[in-house]
């Protein structure tokens, strides 16, 4: 658009100058003007030449002012040629560099292909190495776990070793103690030898007195309880020995009462090692112990009473008012003897239940409790009004331990249809 406008301006300018020159030439020709003393015709030619010069000059001037390329073509052609030559030379160098770069590119492409092949090979090797690394990591983990297990086992063995060292020291101490006990047992053995001789003499005396034993007055039967009590466990042996000695003294007084010698205690003999063993057992027990002093055999009036010790763990078997047993009887309680038989049967069941719960029975009678005659007949009288059946229920009157005796409260109720039937 800029070039078209420039051409239009040049055309208009050239036309205007040509018009002016033509008009000027015409006037000069008509008026026969003369310049520089020349003839009019020559003056007209000069005007035409000047007009052409002005047209060319104006055209070049305008183009020079307006276009940098025209200025360059008019005044900088030689410089432009030099520049073109330099540019051509640079182009040749650039083309040579391009060819060299292309060659280098080809070589680089070949190197790239080789590098890619090498990369693929390295990637394959890397994959194999990663797999090998995973195996090594897993092996390392297993080794760490095994190491931890071995360390734990080592700690356990070290602890066991310490325990064994402690036990060894303890055993060394016990060995020394046992050596002392061995010496003591040797002395005890000598003492037991003397006691054995005494026992042999007593056995002979017993053998000689068999007829007397059979016909004599028996104070205690074999296994009969002479005295009993509860001794607290978990204490030092000295305190336990004192309590056990007191119980033996109570047994002596009971013997004295039985044989009619209330003023002095009757002699009672307990085997000394048995006494000491009982003391040690009670002292080591975490709970109280029931101790029974029982006759070793049938004891004759006037002879020394020989007894043995029986130990049982003590505990509260029944709490106050605790239910023990209930039985239903579908019988007529008003008939003669029926109430007594039913009550005896019921008390037998209570006796079995109490023994199964842990109350110690009397060695001779096998009973665990006592019931007064007045209480017995009171229950019989309460049974009598029930003609179509009744239920007997037993409850502990008070807290009762293993030593007993068990004291009862017996309840009598009417038997309904759903109550189980038990015959006496």
Pairing of strands 390-396, 408-414: antiparallel
Return the percentage of the chain with pLDDT > 90, whole number: 0
Cα–Cα dist 250/227, whole Å? 7
Residue pair 319/370 in contact by the 8 Å Cβ criterion: no
Q: What is the pLDDT of residues 329-366, one digit of tens each?
A: 888 878 888 888 888 888 888 888 888 887 777 666 76
95 alpha-carbon distance from chain centroid: 82
Cα–Cα dist 24/414, whole Å? 169
What confidence score (pLDDT) does residue 56 get?
78
Q: Is-above-0.75 flag for pTM?
A: no
**DSSP code string of 357-402:** HTPPPPTTT---B---HHHHHHHHHHHTT-SS-EEEEEEESS-EET
Residue pair 272/244 in contact by the 8 Å Cβ criterion: no
| Torsion 354-357-358-363 (CA) sign | positive
What confidence score (pLDDT) does residue 263 get?
45
Cα–Cα dist 353/355, whole Å? 5
Phi-psi category of residue 366: left, alpha or beta, with phi > 0 → left and psi -120 to 50 → alpha: left
3-state class (DSSP) for residue 13:
helix
What confidence score (pLDDT) does residue 215 get?
44
User: Which H helix or E strand runs over 32?
Assistant: none
What confidence score (pLDDT) does residue 214 get?
46
Cα–Cα dist 121/113, whole Å? 12
375 to each of 278, 382, 411, how far by Cα in Å? Answer: 39, 11, 11
Residue pair 283/236 in contact by the 8 Å Cβ criterion: yes
Pairing of strands 218-220, 400-401: unpaired
Length of the chain: 424
What confidence score (pLDDT) does residue 196 get?
66
Q: Write out residues in the chain with pLDDT < 70, as ranges.
A: 1-6, 9-10, 24-25, 28-38, 40-41, 70, 73-74, 76-77, 181-182, 185, 189, 192-193, 195-196, 199-220, 257-267, 299-304, 362-364, 366, 368-369, 416-424
Beta-bridge partners for 308: 294
What confidence score (pLDDT) does residue 267 get?
66
Cα–Cα dist 324/357, whole Å? 10
**DSSP code string of 236-280:** -HHHHHHHHHHHHHHHHHHHHHHHT--SSPPPEEE-HHHHHHHHH
């Amino acid at each position: 658009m800029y070039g078209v406008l420039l051409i239009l301006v040049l055309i208009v300018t050239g036309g205007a100058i040509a018009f002016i020159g033509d008009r000027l030439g015409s006037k000069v020709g008509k008026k026969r003007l003369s310049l520089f003393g020349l003839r009019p015709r020559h003056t007209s030619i000069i005007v035409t030449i000047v007009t052409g010069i002005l047209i060319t000059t104006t055209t070049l001037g305008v183009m020079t002012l307006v276009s940098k390329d025209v200025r360059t073509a008019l005044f900088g052609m030689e410089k432009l040629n030099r520049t073109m030559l330099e540019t051509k030379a640079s182009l040749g160098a650039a083309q040579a560099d391009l060819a060299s770069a292309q060659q280098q590119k080809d070589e680089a492409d070949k190197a790239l292909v080789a590098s890619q092949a090498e990369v693929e090979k390295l990637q394959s090797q890397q994959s194999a190495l990663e797999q090998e690394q995973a195996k090594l990591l897993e092996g390392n983990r297993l080794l760490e776990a095994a190491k931890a297990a071995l360390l734990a086992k080592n700690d356990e063995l070290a602890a066991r070793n310490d325990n064994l060292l402690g036990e060894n020291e303890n055993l060394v101490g016990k060995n020394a103690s046992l050596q002392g006990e061995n010496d003591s047992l040797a002395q005890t053995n000598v003492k037991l030898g003397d006691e054995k001789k005494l026992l042999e003499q007593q056995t002979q005396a017993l053998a000689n007195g068999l007829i007397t034993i059979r016909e004599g007055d028996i104070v205690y039967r074999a296994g009969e309880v002479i005295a009993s009590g509860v001794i607290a466990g978990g204490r030092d042996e000295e305190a336990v020995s004192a309590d056990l000695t007191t119980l033996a003294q109570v047994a002596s007084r009971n013997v004295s009462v039985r044989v009619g010698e209330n003023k002095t205690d009757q002699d009672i003999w307990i085997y000394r090692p048995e006494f000491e063993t009982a003391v040690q057992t009670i002292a080591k027990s975490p709970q109280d112990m029931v101790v029974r002093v029982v006759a070793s055999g049938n004891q004759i009036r006037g002879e020394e009473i020989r007894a043995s010790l029986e130990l049982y763990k003590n505990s509260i078997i029944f709490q106050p008012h605790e239910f023990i047993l209930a039985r239903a009887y579908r019988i007529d309680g008003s008939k003669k003897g029926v109430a007594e038989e039913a009550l005896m049967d019921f008390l037998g069941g209570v006796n079995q239940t109490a023994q199964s719960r842990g109350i110690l029975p009397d060695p001779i009678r096998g009973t665990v409790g006592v019931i007064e005659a007045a209480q017995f007949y009171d229950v019989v009288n309460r049974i009598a009004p029930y003609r179509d059946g009744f239920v007997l229920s037993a409850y502990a009157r008070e807290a009762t331990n293993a030593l007993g005796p068990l004291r009862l409260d017996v309840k009598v109720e009417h038997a309904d249809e759903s109550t189980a039937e038990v015959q006496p």
